[in-house]
Amino acid sequence: MQTDYFERKLDDKRRLTIPAELRAEFASGVVLTRGFGKYLHLYPQQIWDREVESAPTGSILDERVCRPER
């Protein structure tokens, strides 16, 4: 899975464009979710499913739940 930051704007029809190099990763499905601040997170479906299975209980929008263990 590629991790990167892309700044995008919505087009006139309020659509989000996905960089061509990422489209193949999303061919089997994609999950779009809100992150902290003004960020959106895109996950390939299989990665999202794996993350949900191993996630601690609580809201993914709760910073204490999302904070990485160090």
Over the range 7-32, which residues count as b (16 or more CB within 10 Å of their CB) and which as e? eeeeeeeeeeeeeeeeeebeeeebee
Is 0.75 surpassed by the pTM of this model? Answer: no
- Domain-embedded: residue 58: yes
Q: Count the domains in the chain.
A: 1
State residue 60's pLDDT score. Answer: 63
- Domain-embedded: residue 55: yes
- Domain-embedded: residue 38: yes
CB 18 within 8 A of CB 10: no
* Nearest-angstrom CA–CA distance, 63 and 37: 11
State residue 13's pLDDT score. Answer: 95
In a 13 Å sphere around the CA of 22, the CA atoms on its Cβ side amount to: 14
- Domain-embedded: residue 59: yes
Q: Which residues in the chain land under pLDDT 50? A: 70
State residue 12's pLDDT score. Answer: 95
State residue 67's pLDDT score. Answer: 65
Residue 57 gets which letter from DSSP? S
